[in-house]
Amino acid sequence: MENLDWKNLPFGYQKTDYNVRCYYRNNAWGELEVSSSEYINIHMAATALHYGQEAFEGLKAYRGVDGKIRLFRWEENYERLKNSARGVMMAEVTKEVFYNAVVKAVKLNERFIPPHGTGASLYIRPFLFGSGAEVGVKPAEEYMFVVFVTPVGPYFKEGFKPVKIAIEKETDRAAPLGTGNIKVGGNYAASLKAIVRVHKEGYGSPLYLDAKEKRYIDEIGAANFFGIKDNTYVTPKSESILPSITNKSIVQLAEHLGMKVERRPIDVEELSTFEEVGACGTAAVISPIGEICDLTENKSITFCKDGKPGAMSTKIYETLVGIQYGEVEDPFQWTEVID
């Protein structure tokens, strides 16, 4: 077991022992290769570098209360990567290559899986990019798929404590018929200006509104948005947000816990009517929101007035995390033990 300060891990890159790679050449995927190098050697005219032919995923491995290692809903990540590949005309990774590479990367780096009870987990980052050289704007003929892992703590430094969010009005992350619904690198490039600006002002993340009308809530940085009122879980319906696997899971959990669920456009004016609001994602898990500020109008709405996450968010959080760490029953068979 690696000797790290597990309880205080940031959400950041930490070197591990190995990564797993696979090359697509002559219309076929090759064998998985294990590497201990953190670097990759690619052609300077690779389409990933010039035309953004790149997509990635994010999932986690958890050390359970029983000492076993669990993956959470990896097939959903596989399906989403396939969709992202289609969206930017890349060769699709096969399910077998995806799963075998993920499992290999986790097992080879087992000593970096945070111990149970530390609140940390092993973040798994599969990514796919055009490695073939082109100068004309067209899809590459060669691709590379890589999986690396890194132990992480909470995405927002607050952990499961209310975070402050700022409404973004100066830039758009994604266009209605653009690439917001797939997980391609370009979306994150387009989000950097807003992230840096709101961080400087002391906010954890920007909240993006729909690009067309600047009226409906899209999502929160690298997480989906949810609001809760009248025993109802409400989350945006939009073509330009990433379909979050965490959110999809919470929708099922909320129903399981006896709540109603609504997936519909959420007017930003509706924000003040919610009893609880939060951000959800693999990295963000469930992050309660304590304040949403409209920086252009200098107006804030506050939630969690006692400084604590709301009761419903807490219940959902505990159930979700309990399933991930094997502490509570997994009625949906979302986790897979890897041995």
Q: Catalytic site residues?
A: 183
Q: Give yes or no for residue 245 binding ligand PLP (CB under 6 A).
A: yes
Place of tokens 């409400």: 234
In whole angstroms, how close is the CB of 189 to ligand COI at the nearest point? 12
Q: Give yes or no for residue 126 binding ligand PLP (CB under 6 A).
A: no
In whole angstroms, how close is the CB of 30 to ligand PLP at the nearest point? 28
* C-alpha span between 294 and 265 (Å, rounded): 19
In whole angstroms, how close is the CB of 244 to ligand PLP at the nearest point? 3
The tokens describing 92, both together, are: 């699709």
CA angle 292, 57, 19 (to 5 degrees): 130
Residue from 154, 104, 143 nearest 24 by CA:
143
Site track 55-94 with ligand PLP (rule: CB under 6 A), x = hit: ---x------------------------------------
By beta-carbon proximity to ligand PLP, the closer residue of 9 and 242 is: 242
Q: Give yes or no for residue 283 binding ligand COI (CB under 6 A).
A: yes
Q: Kindly indicate which of the ranges 31-39, 226-234, 244-252, 287-295 contains the residues binding ligand PLP, using the contact rule CB under 6 A.
A: 244-252
Q: Give yes or no for residue 240 binding ligand PLP (CB under 6 A).
A: no
Q: Give yes or no for residue 281 binding ligand PLP (CB under 6 A).
A: yes
Q: Give yes or no for residue 121 binding ligand COI (CB under 6 A).
A: no
Site track 7-46 with ligand COI (rule: CB under 6 A), x = hit: ----------------------------------------
Residue 220 CB-half CA count within 13 A: 34
β-pairing, 121-130 vs 54-56, is antiparallel
Residue from 119, 160, 155, 152 nearest 289 by CA:
160
Q: Give yes or no for residue 242 binding ligand PLP (CB under 6 A).
A: yes
Contact 59, 186 (CB under 8 A): no
Q: Give yes or no for residue 179 binding ligand PLP (CB under 6 A).
A: no
β-pairing, 285-294 vs 163-168, is parallel
Q: Kindly indicate which of the ranges 14-22, 29-37, 89-97, 239-247 contains the residues binding ligand PLP, using the contact rule CB under 6 A.
A: 239-247
The H or E element containing residue 209 is: strand 205-209
Neighbours of 116 (CB within 10 A): 17
Residues in binding contact with ligand PLP, number by CB under 6 A: 12
Q: Give yes or no for residue 247 binding ligand COI (CB under 6 A).
A: no
Exactly one of 151, 153, 162, 281 binds ligand COI (CB under 6 A); that residue is 281
Q: Give yes or no for residue 109 binding ligand COI (CB under 6 A).
A: no
Identify what 217 binds: ligand PLP, ligand COI, none; CB under 5 to 8 Å per kind: none
* C-alpha span between 76 and 248 (Å, rounded): 10
* C-alpha span between 206 and 184 (Å, rounded): 19
CA 228 vs CA 20, 60, 234, 263: distances in Å = 41, 26, 6, 12
Q: Give yes or no for residue 109 binding ligand PLP (CB under 6 A).
A: no
Closest residue (Cβ) to ligand PLP? Answer: 281
Q: Give yes or no for residue 204 binding ligand PLP (CB under 6 A).
A: no
Q: Give yes or no for residue 194 binding ligand PLP (CB under 6 A).
A: no
- Cβ within 8 Å of residue 14, ≥6 positions away: 4, 112, 150, 151, 152
Neighbours of 221 (CB within 10 A): 24
Judged by the rule CB under 6 A, the positions of this chain that interact with ligand PLP are 58, 219, 222-224, 242, 244-247, 281-282
* Residues at the interface with ligand COI (CB under 6 A): 58, 222, 281-283
